[in-house]
Amino acid sequence: MNRTIDPATIISSLGAYLEELRESGVDGFPVDAAGSILRDPDSRAVPAHGEKLASSAGAPPETLDKIRKNLGECQRCKLGSTRKTLVFGTGNPKARLVFVGEGPGADEDAKGEPFVGDAGRMLNRIITAMGLKREEVYICNVVKCRPPGNRNPEADEITACSPFLLRQITAVKPDVIVALGKFASQTLLETKEPISKLRGKFRDFHGVPLMPTYHPSYLLRTGGNSDSFWDVWEDMVQVLRLLKLPVPDKSRKTGNSSSG
């Protein structure tokens, strides 16, 4: 027997669904000339672990500008209500190398740019030591809004933000990704392995080689000539070799090492 649903019920369920979308930050749908709802890039399936990033075959690749616009004044998770500035990413939109950190801190939240505080100065030092300029690489974070009190981002916040990180990486199409620190490395690789075990070996991130390494903040704590500092340098040497770029000659100063 066919059950018919009365139109008032359909309209009321649709209304509730639209209200739910509005509350989660969706503030409109692009509509084509025929009036049909176009597919929002937001709804792209997030590739499963091990699956390649969406190729641009057929369609022109998305631009970072478009992804930023699509984020808008994002309220897709609770960090939207406490952040000052959404920190999207910075650098070369066609970079061969992308650095991914955890999430903005107070300095980044104030300035709207990733890695601009003390950790940023350490990251700049690493980039310069590699013979590169900050403007040549692309820098972003797992989450785009500052977690209050610099706590770790929570699962629902990562879930809301990761489609945008994936879209950024797909748009930049880097040859290599460096995951900075335990949090970014474990999140991107979907593992609980400690950073001390993860670092130093390339892993696969949806078809792109990813090098996990220590976070610049950790190096600030261990010191500029610590064992961890030189571990990061060794990781960056592997990155430069993979990119077929010259490896600047650095030699470790002795007598000032820390256990890190």
The residues of the shown chain that bind ligand URA, judged by CB under 6 A, are 101-105, 108, 114-115, 119, 141
Least gap, CB of 143 to ligand URA (angstroms): 9
Least gap, CB of 194 to ligand URA (angstroms): 18
Sequence-ordered list of residues with C-beta below 8 angstroms from that of 98, at least 6 positions apart, any chain: 137, 138, 139, 140, 169, 172, 174, 176, 177, 178
Residue 74 near residue 114 (C-beta atoms within 8 A): no
How buried is 191 (Cβ within 10 angstroms: 0-12 exposed, 13-18 middle, 19+ buried)?
middle
CA angle 80, 86, 92 (to 5 degrees): 150
Residue 142 near residue 183 (C-beta atoms within 8 A): yes
Mark residue 203 as left, alpha or beta (left: phi above 0; alpha: psi -120 to 50; beta: remaining).
beta
Q: Smaller CB distance to ligand URA: residue 44 or 125?
A: 125
Q: Smaller CB distance to ligand URA: residue 15 or 148?
A: 148
| DSSP bridge pairs for 90 | 139
Q: Smaller CB distance to ligand URA: residue 18 or 106?
A: 106
Angstrom distances, CA of residue 118 to CA of 87, 89, 92: 16, 17, 22
Residue nearest to ligand URA (CB): 101
Residue 143 near residue 153 (C-beta atoms within 8 A): yes
Residue 189 near residue 179 (C-beta atoms within 8 A): yes
Least gap, CB of 6 to ligand URA (angstroms): 52
Q: Smaller CB distance to ligand URA: residue 114 or 174?
A: 114
Least gap, CB of 149 to ligand URA (angstroms): 14
Least gap, CB of 83 to ligand URA (angstroms): 12
Q: Smaller CB distance to ligand URA: residue 88 or 236?
A: 88
Amino acid letter, 103: G
Q: Smaller CB distance to ligand URA: residue 101 or 174?
A: 101
Q: Smaller CB distance to ligand URA: residue 114 or 212?
A: 114
Residue 85 near residue 34 (C-beta atoms within 8 A): no
Least gap, CB of 9 to ligand URA (angstroms): 47
Least gap, CB of 213 to ligand URA (angstroms): 12
Tokens of 144: 């785009």
